[in-house]
Structure 1
Amino acid sequence: MRSSSSWRRWRLSVGSVFGIALLVSCSAAGKDGDAETSGKDRPSASRSSSRVQDPYPGDEKGARALMEELGESGGTGLVRSLRPAAADYHALFQPDFARQAEAFYEGSLWGNSPQPPRPWAKYGQTEMRMWKATTDDIRAWTPVVRANFPGGYAQVKDRFKAGLTVYTWDYTKPGDERGMAYNGLVYVNGHWAFFPKPWYVLRG
């Protein structure tokens, strides 16, 4: 388990996870900034992502393999397969927050035009560390969650539903304590989906 002091140093070095938006055409807005893609306008994520995600079962082993592939290649198809469907938001979050989260992520992260593949790890970051917590533990804000998850999760801990597992991870150079950090990977409704930095939803 990472110490609280090393976690603070690590957290301060992390760039915004929404840089991934470059991989998935971050803005769904048009010239007027008001265009969004609703759950009704896009195919079910669980259907469209199932074939792409076949090598990644919904357990810790599958999560690690998926993270390693994202770190090495960040393939466009794989990244876009992580786009949640409307039902995924409602499976993970309480109803009001689920609606807010869908509007936020669709407007700020997920777009319609795929970008060239790009590794999520930077050059030389060949090591990966992974942590996980159940949504029940996040809601209880246990010591393990406090040690291994960004502090922003405390702001939204009561917005999670019980019964799912959330993963956080980073890529580092050998011997480094700090690196590129990501969070919010969840296996929900039969596929992996990505809900990074959910406390940003509160900022709208």
Structure 2
Amino acid sequence: MDAVPDSLDAVAEDFIRSSGDISTLLERLRPELTDFDDVYAADTVVAAVRHYDGYWLRPRVIAPTRLQTTYRLTAVSTEELLAGTGATSTFPRGYRDVAPHLRPGLRLHRITFLEPGASFGIDLDCFVLLDGRWRLFPTPWFVLLVDDPGHDH
């Protein structure tokens, strides 16, 4: 297995260098079963495992385009999400919905891939650093919908 980048900057640069083929990167970032206990509260772990088991069969992650050669990193903590402080307003509303179901003390990260000089681009989130390894939990609030009719991974 490839070495795991020790910084989110290195992860972002790997995505930019990937030339659109991100399957190897995604496999490296895929959470392991034991990671769910470190991210989700006990009452939500089973739903998270069920959701992501299906999600990772066909992950819907958009790779940066060849023109998106720069990036911006944003982070928010569980506590900031609960209080509506920090960078909370820059994250999708679903983060506030799932915040009560996340472990305290987590730091959730996003990479926004941009064309030079652009202010908007492709967002890739939610990265969490667990035991020195980056893990990716895209759209973490979808675990709250796992039992809804029509839930799609």
- Coarse TM-score class (shorter-chain normalised): 0.7 to 0.9
1:201 aligns with 143
Are positions 1:133 and 2:87 aligned together?
no
Are positions 1:65 and 2:65 aligned together?
no
Distance 2:53 2:35 in 1: 13
Task: Answer 1 or 2: which has greater helix percent.
Answer: 1
Q: What amino acid does structure 2 have at the position aligned with 1:87?
A: T
| Change in 2 beyond 3 A, CA 1:162/1:69 | same
Q: Say if 1:72 and 1:120, in contact at 8 Å, map to a contact too.
A: no
Are positions 1:175 and 2:106 aligned together?
no
What is the CA-CA distance between 1:75 and the residue it aligns to? 4.1
1:164 aligns with 106
1:53 aligns with 3
Could you list the runs of 5+ residues in structure 2 that have no partner in the other structure?
Answer: 147-153
Are positions 1:103 and 2:50 aligned together?
yes
Q: Say if 1:132 and 1:165, in contact at 8 Å, map to a contact too.
A: yes
Distance 2:3 2:101 in 1: 27
2:96 aligns with 154
Q: What amino acid does structure 2 have at the position aligned with 1:64?
A: D
Q: Secondary structure in 1 aligned to 2:98?
A: helix
Scaled by the length of structure 2, what TM-score is found? 0.82
Q: For each residue in 1:37-91, what CA deviation from the matched residue of structure 2 results, as whole angstroms up to 9, or x when unmatched?
A: xxxxxxxxxxxxxx5234x11xxxx111112212320543322011111211111
Q: Say if 1:90 and 1:98, in contact at 8 Å, map to a contact too.
A: yes
Q: Say if 1:138 and 1:153, in contact at 8 Å, map to a contact too.
A: yes
1:83 aligns with 30
Task: Answer 1 or 2: which has greater strand percent.
Answer: 2
Distance 1:168 1:78 in 2: 15
Matched positions, count: 142
What is the CA-CA distance between 1:140 and the residue it aligns to? 2.6
Distance 1:196 1:53 in 2: 22
Larger Rg: 1
Scaled by the length of structure 1, what TM-score is found? 0.63
What is the CA-CA distance between 1:189 and the residue it aligns to? 3.1
Identity of aligned residues (%): 27
List, as ranges, runs of 4+ consecutive aligned residues in structure 1 with deviation greater than 4 Å: none
Q: What amino acid does structure 2 have at the position aligned with 1:89?
A: F
Q: For each residue in 1:163-193, what CA deviation from the matched residue of structure 2 results, as whole angstroms up to 9, or x when unmatched?
A: 2211012111122222111110011133111
Which deviates the most, 133-142 or 190-199? 133-142
Distance 2:125 2:117 in 1: 21
What is the CA-CA distance between 1:198 and the residue it aligns to? 0.9
Q: Say if 2:62 and 2:122, in contact at 8 Å, map to a contact too.
A: no
Distance 2:45 2:3 in 1: 24
